[in-house]
């Protein structure tokens, strides 16, 4: 009952916004225009038996295209030199949006099999070549080369700190430019406390952008 009440408190305003406001209808039209299924809210208890970190999952809610584009447009980088990694990629909307930037490679990490299956169907419809390893993000080995890591509040503090440790270890083995674009940055403390990252930009609890400490960046101004 408590869980249902909390979900209704989040879901009802979301669905009212989605169906009865101009900005919400634009979001809904994304799926209609592209013939995909990325919209909708999936609460934690509908994600199935995906392991102990389910307790730390938040919910699936797709990123808004306008805000996603604004955040990535703010990065002073050569996108073609970077691999894009979406942590908690859900139904794959941000992987579709990331096509605009012609990343060297695009990866979505998602641990719910049903969401992975939906995302792969969406990618096939849009001929998007992104990879989707269906796995726990705390066990993900970040690829070599410059990275843009995107997140939209995928989980709580414990798995976030574990994922940051993995990223720090990857940077220690292979120093390189890594940008973290964190929308709805509830657990940003994990990056603020990290010796490997500096805060570049933020707005209240809305978003935070971090950059790895790397002196020989291939970025452009």
Tens-digit pLDDT profile for residues 13-68: 544 544 556 655 566 677 888 888 887 665 554 555 555 555 445 555 778 888 99
Identify which has the larger pLDDT, 37 or 70.
Answer: 70
Query: Of 109, 106, 200, 199, whose CA–CA distance to 154 is shortest?
Result: 109
Compute the mean pLDDT over every residue in the chain, rounded to the nearest whole number: 82
pLDDT over 90 (residue 12): no
Residue 9 is predicted with a pLDDT of 45
* Residue-wise burial string across 2-39, b where 16 or more C-beta atoms lie within 10 A, e elsewhere: eeeeebeeebeeeeeebeeeeebeebeebbeeeebebb
Q: Provide the residue ranges of all domains of the chain, joining segments of one domain with +.
A: 65-212
Q: Whole-prediction pTM value?
A: 0.81
User: If you search the block for the tokens 């979505």, which residue do you land on?
Assistant: 108
Over residues 86-111, mean pLDDT: 95
Q: Kindly report the CATH class assigned to 65-212.
A: alpha beta
| Degrees, nearest 5: CA angle 143-82-219 | 130
Crossing angle of helices 22-34/2-20, nearest 10°?
90
Residue 98 is predicted with a pLDDT of 97
Residue 22 is predicted with a pLDDT of 60
Helices (H), the chain: 2-20, 22-34, 65-73, 93-97, 113-125, 157-173, 189-192
Q: Please give the torsion angle defined by the CA atoms of residues 50, 56, 62 and 65, in that order, rounded to the nearest 10 degrees.
A: -130
Q: Are strands 147-152 and 105-109 parallel, antiparallel or unpaired?
A: unpaired
pLDDT over 50 (residue 188): yes
Neighbours of 215 (CB within 10 A): 6
CB 2 within 8 A of CB 43: no
Residue 27 is predicted with a pLDDT of 64
What span, in angstroms and rounded, lies between the C-alpha atoms of 57 and 151? 13
**Range with lowest mean pLDDT among 8-12, 41-45, 134-138:** 8-12
Neighbours of 172 (CB within 10 A): 9
3-state secondary structure of 160: helix
């Amino acid at each position: 009952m408590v869980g249902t009440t909390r979900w209704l408190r989040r879901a009802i305003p979301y669905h009212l916004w989605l169906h009865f406001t101009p900005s919400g209808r634009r979001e809904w039209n994304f799926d209609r225009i592209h013939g995909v299924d990325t919209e909708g809210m999936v609460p934690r208890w509908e994600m199935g038996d995906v392991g102990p970190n389910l307790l730390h999952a938040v919910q699936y809610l797709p990123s808004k295209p306008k805000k996603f584009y604004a955040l990535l447009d703010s990065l002073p980088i050569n996108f073609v030199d970077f691999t894009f990694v979406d942590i908690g990629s859900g139904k794959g909307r941000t992987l579709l949006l990331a096509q605009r930037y012609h990343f060297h490679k695009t990866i979505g990490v998602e641990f719910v099999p049903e969401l992975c299956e939906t995302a792969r169907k969406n990618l096939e419809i849009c001929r998007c070549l992104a990879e989707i390893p269906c796995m726990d993000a705390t066990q993900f080995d970040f690829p070599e080369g410059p990275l843009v890591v995107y997140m939209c509040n995928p989980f709580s503090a414990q798995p976030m700190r574990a994922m940051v440790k993995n990223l720090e270890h990857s940077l220690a083995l292979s120093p390189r430019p890594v940008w973290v674009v964190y929308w709805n940055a509830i657990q940003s403390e994990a990056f603020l406390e990290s010796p490997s990252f500096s805060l570049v930009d933020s707005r209240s609890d809305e978003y935070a952008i971090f950059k790895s400490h790397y002196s020989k960046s291939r970025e452009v101004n």
